[in-house]
A = this chain, B = another copy of it.
């Protein structure tokens, strides 16, 4: 067993995305104790930064010490008790995972099954909530990482509020890449991941809970299934009021990385970052279309940070990805579930959303196509991408 030196890739899949060297350098700084006053000062800055990131005043805003899937579970296990009914909108992998979470937390899930690649229809959600007055929570995915679809979160939250339901929103791929306005929309519980548009390494899951959500947690009559994710315990550590008590050992160096990624995001400005993702998407889309590729998702529901394109007929998608990785050190994503073998998922997330990456992607794809009996004009596609930038 010898020291591991990874090859230098360009990460344009569905995440993790490229991590900026400033974030990597921050993670390599000397470890502090998790109760050190210097570390606790940094934690307060992370909490404040996450509130600004989520556009919320929610006091209970902090990073869960585990990947996005644990952030999802934190929302579901704390808000659901045996016998609760939750309407789950499923239009990809992560809606299905939400359903699993509801069931394992002891709840009943009413599934709204939306075709993969399509956005949820607020009218259908409205009708479902009308048909299920026993439902007390609506759960949906803001940015489906498996399809590249953006949901109309404002409209879905408005429907939930009309029916007096709380909302749980998956914002793993959306935060940092497109507007996420927790307080304006009235989202009650939201989770995201560190490794997408925040350009931090994977392993942390920022979450935020509204006062309405906390009232529900406080009104529980049964303990939360999970000790590790129980908000009432975790907050004894993350909430500075009245001194901190030990819950679990925080992932100190990973939090240095998240802190630095927030510093970088606010240096650029959150709105400027959204604009950059939109601009890079426009450029990439022009290049991909000039290569003859078609998008899975209709223009109005497309995520700028995750471009799902259909594999052309007669092309073996795995061979193309293998060539990109081997010859260009470029990672793009495969399809999942019913889309396996049928699409590629090309990420433009955080640090990855820059002209160099767009141009590399177009050039490398053109090379891969030409080497796999699918002739294209790479120069023309590159020119189209540049013209649209």
Contact = CB atoms under 8 A, between A and B. Distances in A.
Contacts of A203: 65, 203, 251-254
Given A6-B39, A49-B1, A251 B67 contact: yes
A224 B260 CA distance: 36
Interface in A21-66: 22, 24-34, 36-39, 42, 45, 48-49, 65-66
Sorting the interface of chain A by its residue count into under 10, 10 to 19, 20 to 34 or 35 or more gives 35 or more
Contacts of A34: 16, 202
A331 interface: yes
A270 to B, nearest CB: 12
A269 to B, nearest CB: 13
Interface in A257-299: 257, 259-260, 262-263, 266
Interface string A178-210: 000000000000000101000001110000000
Interface of A: 1-9, 11, 13, 15-16, 18-19, 22, 24-34, 36-39, 42, 45, 48-49, 65-70, 72-73, 77, 97, 100-101, 103-105, 193, 195, 201-203, 223-228, 246-254, 256-257, 259-260, 262-263, 266, 325, 331, 336
Contacts of A48: 1
Contacts of A250: 67, 202
A9 B31 CA distance: 8
Contacts of A29: 4-6, 24
